[in-house]
A and B are shown apart, each in its own frame.
Chain A
Amino acid sequence: MISEPIPRPFAVLATLAAALFLLPLVGLLVRFPWTEALSALTAPEILTAAGLSLVTSISATALSILLGVPLAMVYARARFRGLRVVRALTTLPMVLPPVVGGVALLVAFGRRGIVGQFLDSAFGIRIPFTTAAAVLAATFVAMPFLVLTVEAGLRSMDRRYEEAARSIGAGRWMVFRRVTLPLVAPSLYAGAVLCWARALGEFGATITFAGNVPGSTQTLPLAVYLALETRPQAAIALSLVLLLLSLVVLVALRDRYLPTS
């Protein structure tokens, strides 16, 4: 393939742009503490944080699938007044500063929050500063990725398959379970992976709403941030690990987000 000629100013600026992304990666590789990486990564508090991150991100993804698929279904197929507004508001966390999300969650589900105080007085349930809060924070910021991806899948699927199923006597639930869901499976898979990656990286909403309690709310990103002050080697090692994980996610979704030329 022969390249098109690129004007010089563009080439220079494009190089700068690429460098902006590549230099930090190079930095992580150059400063990676090869000799102490293993001990840094297997330190007890790091392993605890990693385990917690796995639990919260997977729980958030599961919760997002359970609640997000029906939401995507409503967005793709229902027609009612205010639908567009609701849809816009539930998409907001994708562009909202996560800290703002954390504050909002706190005033809703905190001990004095509009729902939280009721939960506390009626059931004695206190969400903030628990693992449940970390899951909720991650779900809040990550679910829109799943909803939008599944919604797009539902909109582009061939609905005549559902009609074919209905015409030979399948009920709504069977049509959904055996036709709709398998046909949007690629979108659901992509949405779930995106959602999981976003949940795993969640920092702002988590530290605001769930706090930074080792063992119950201190996830990997929080641990990395703290380690940077006390044990920078561990922070660098962890960062590279998280970066490789992100790379794996990108490769897993290559058909969707990387052009196949």
Chain B
Amino acid sequence: MLKADIHLRLGTLDLDAALDAAPGEVVALLGPNGAGKTTFLRAIAGLVRAGRAKVALDGVATERRPIGSVFQQHLLFPHLSVLENVAFGLRARQRPDARVAAMAWLERVGLGAYANARPAALSGGEAQRVALARALAIDPRLLLLDEPLAALDATTRVEVRRELRHHLASFDGARLLVTHDPLEAAALADRLVILEGGRVVQSGPVDEVTRHPRTRFVADLVGVNLLRGRADGGVVALEGGQQLTALDAGNGDVFAVIHPRSVAIHRTHPEGTPRNVWPGTVRSVDMLGERARVAIGGSLPIVAEVTASAVRDLDLRERAEVWVSVKAAEVGVYPA
């Protein structure tokens, strides 16, 4: 169990935030650049000493507990072999079997063949896998991941993300992931903590935060409809049994992302071209300035964002029966 409570001022940043993470839980710290995400993580890792930081792992101050860190740039030591990089933390703990244990970790991330290579010989994705092995080798109770995929190109990112999820699943400590990519957060995390201007503005399970963002900012950042399913050509079979038509969805496990602004609401069955049409019942209407987020229940629950005048014109209120439509071209599909 991680309990962190950080107060510090650093330049223009005024950070005052607290969060918990249970063993086995993946918490994503999400926010725009300059929100203080990385500083928060560095304070937990003990790399920032300014201000007041109360950080406890299983009730013990973190100085005595191993914490593994994976950074945006892999930061593998360029002068050491790949194997010695992974063994570094073990040597710091004077483990006599450092090399053997490091080799086992290297095999686990599938890079045993590179043991004697220098980090410079690795691709970006491979280097990040070695960095993960280096962090996990010390058997940490907490793993900190600071935008671990941000420096990778799009194709590698999908690959490494899949692998990261696999390795994160087998790790039983708490995991804290910093990211500015909502999709990355959704793919890897159980819970989101949104940081804005040094403050936690919302936190909760991924579903809840994406469906019910509490501020305009959170709505813009993560307030999308995120649906898991299996793609087969142009059709995504969702976990609830429904189907979505999308443009070239590829194959395999995917996220279907529908922005609330792309969801149209009708009082009668719509005519015309939309490929995805289904009936539902309005569950809630939240006004956020000139816009309204309308949560619609039914066989395929979804959130729509419409103008305040549309709410009046269609007389949208709770329990109103409506039709929902989404164009195939508006369904974004991303490998999960």
- Chain A residues within 8 Å of chain B by Cβ, number: 17
A-B contact pairs, 12 of them (CB 8 A): A160-B71, A161-B78, A163-B47, A164-B77, A165-B88, A168-B67, A168-B89, A168-B138, A169-B93, A171-B92, A178-B77, A183-B79
Pair count A-B, CB < 8 A: 56
| Complex contacts, B73 vs chain A, CB 8 Å | 160
Per the bound structure, the CA–CA distance linking A174 and B92 in Å amounts to 7
Give the bracket for the number of chain B residues in contact with chain A: 20 to 34
Per the bound structure, the CA–CA distance linking A179 and B77 in Å amounts to 7
Per the bound structure, the CA–CA distance linking A179 and B75 in Å amounts to 11
Interface positions of B from 38 to 63, Cβ below 8 Å from A: 42, 45-47
- Given A169-B89, A169-B93, A170-B92, verify A164-B79 contact (CB < 8 Å): no
A145-184 near B? 1/0 per residue, CB < 8 Å: 0000000000000001101111111110010001100110
Q: Which of B68, B79, B93 has the most CB of A within 10 A?
A: B79
Per the bound structure, the CA–CA distance linking A164 and B75 in Å amounts to 7
Do A160 and B75 touch (CB < 8 A)?
yes
Per the bound structure, the CA–CA distance linking A220 and B106 in Å amounts to 55
Per the bound structure, the CA–CA distance linking A76 and B278 in Å amounts to 66
B64-106 near A? 1/0 per residue, CB < 8 Å: 0011110101010111100000001101110000000000000
B135 beta carbon closer than 8 Å to chain A: yes
Per the bound structure, the CA–CA distance linking A161 and B77 in Å amounts to 7
Do B47 and A170 touch (CB < 8 A)?
no
Do A169 and B138 touch (CB < 8 A)?
yes
- Given A160-B71, A174-B92, A178-B88, verify A167-B79 contact (CB < 8 Å): no
| Complex contacts, A160 vs chain B, CB 8 Å | 71, 73, 75
| Complex contacts, A183 vs chain B, CB 8 Å | 78-79
Do B135 and A165 touch (CB < 8 A)?
no
How far, in Å, is A107 (CB) from chain B's closest CB? 44
How far, in Å, is A258 (CB) from chain B's closest CB? 25
Q: Which of A161, A164, A169, A179 has the most CB of B within 10 A?
A: A164
| Complex contacts, A185 vs chain B, CB 8 Å | 79
Per the bound structure, the CA–CA distance linking A166 and B45 in Å amounts to 9
Per the bound structure, the CA–CA distance linking A178 and B85 in Å amounts to 11
How far, in Å, is A159 (CB) from chain B's closest CB? 10
Interface positions of B from 184 to 218, Cβ below 8 Å from A: none
Per the bound structure, the CA–CA distance linking A65 and B228 in Å amounts to 61
Residue on A nearest B76 in the bound complex, by CB: A164
B259 beta carbon closer than 8 Å to chain A: no
Closest 7 interchain pairs by CB?
A168-B89, A167-B69, A164-B75, A170-B92, A182-B79, A169-B92, A167-B45
How far, in Å, is A189 (CB) from chain B's closest CB? 13
A9-30 near B? 1/0 per residue, CB < 8 Å: 0000000000000000000000
B175 beta carbon closer than 8 Å to chain A: no
